[in-house]
Amino acid sequence: MTQPLTIAICVGEASGDLLGAHLIRAIKARRPDAVFTGIGGERMKAEGFNSLYDQEKLAVRGFTEVVRRLPEILKIRKGIIRDLTQLRPDVFIGIDAPDFNLGVAEKLKKAGIPTIHYVSPSVWAWRMERVHTIVHQVNRVLCLFPMEPQLYIDAGGKAEFVGHPMAQTMPLNDDRAAARAKLGIDPPDALFAILPGSQIREVDNMAPVFFQTALLLLKQYPQAQFILPTATEATRARISAILARPEFAGLPVTLVHKQADTVCTAADVVMVTSGTATLEVALCKRPMVISYKISALTYAYVKRKVKVQHVGLPNILLGKSAVPELLQHDATPEKLAAAVSHWYEHPEAVAALKQDFRELHLLLKKDTAALAAQAVLEEAKAV
């Protein structure tokens, strides 16, 4: 009996599970007969996905955890390569998790199975030479940012811009009053959001600096309030422990579980650790100050390797210094407080920034899942 259209997908973490679920739904809208297998999370399973391994076992963070779990991860990778080589799906899609998925894709491509990588690594910023390796590992790359496809095309590969899913799901017009009402916050004199990062090491590095900044802002704006969305229970516990230090006693910080988009929309200004969260703040149309601190040794290495003028995604995508970046030695409470105050006291600058962010939102807003589904079906020769 002829095998039905079989699409293999592999994701490594929750963000990939969400992308995978959207992709499955878009493919099923065009090919209801398609079946899906590989490694996926709960959202993908809810769409009828058959996960051969526990996706949570791949969701590791930080060097120490990766080393500790490496034998198990390598065993899963060996197993999924074996299983899919035997199954011979019509196409394989690795969603994000490049360290895991690109190795799988390379083996499957050599076995004659078409392969796609969905979400380009940040090759434009870090180790650009990876582009040449990736175009040999996969048949096609689906990119979330418009400057990425040409890098692969120039290296002889096939790539396209499918838009960013956050731009599709987040509203184009922000509503600060509605966000504050949802959070149950009465409009204060000033409301500042703090996003110290989603990983423990980021919280350890950045939360104390942001809280010291909050103390300075409180002297300047005595009625100010601060609000902080926590990504996980682990980060919430660490943040609570830092806030319990004597130096931060009485600091008016409200912790909210997740809801980062609502928190950012409600705020007057956002202090944010460099990373994907900076794009979320931009799509909320809020002024921000981007900051980051890492070990001196790591910073020296990264500074030598990174090839972009800016580190914040909004600045990179807009091609200018739209929002301040206070990194490493410049990440001081005094400089951060001054930058936050500048936004708060200059509404005309905020209005201009919001227009930039609106244009950025429109640039990134596409029917991402539908475009990705079209690419998948083309590689599977199912259109």
The pLDDT value recorded for residue 328 is: 86
The whole model's pTM is what?
A: 0.88
The pLDDT value recorded for residue 45 is: 95
Every domain of the chain and the residues it spans: 6-163+366-380, 176-364
Confidence of residue 320 (pLDDT cuts 50, 70, 90): very high
Could you tell me the two tokens for 49?
Answer: 């996905």
pLDDT tens profile 231-269: 888 899 999 999 999 999 989 999 999 899 999 999 999
pLDDT tens profile 200-220: 888 999 999 999 999 999 999
Give the class (CATH, top level) of 176-364: alpha beta
* 304 pLDDT higher than 60: yes
Confidence of residue 306 (pLDDT cuts 50, 70, 90): low
Domain 6-163+366-380 carries which CATH code?
Answer: 3.40.50.2000
pLDDT tens profile 16-67: 898 999 999 999 999 999 999 999 999 999 999 999 998 877 766 555 656 6
pLDDT tens profile 275-298: 889 999 999 999 999 999 877 666
* 95 pLDDT higher than 90: yes
Let me know if the fold of 6-163+366-380 is the same as that of 176-364.
Answer: yes
* 352 pLDDT higher than 60: yes
The pLDDT value recorded for residue 293 is: 84
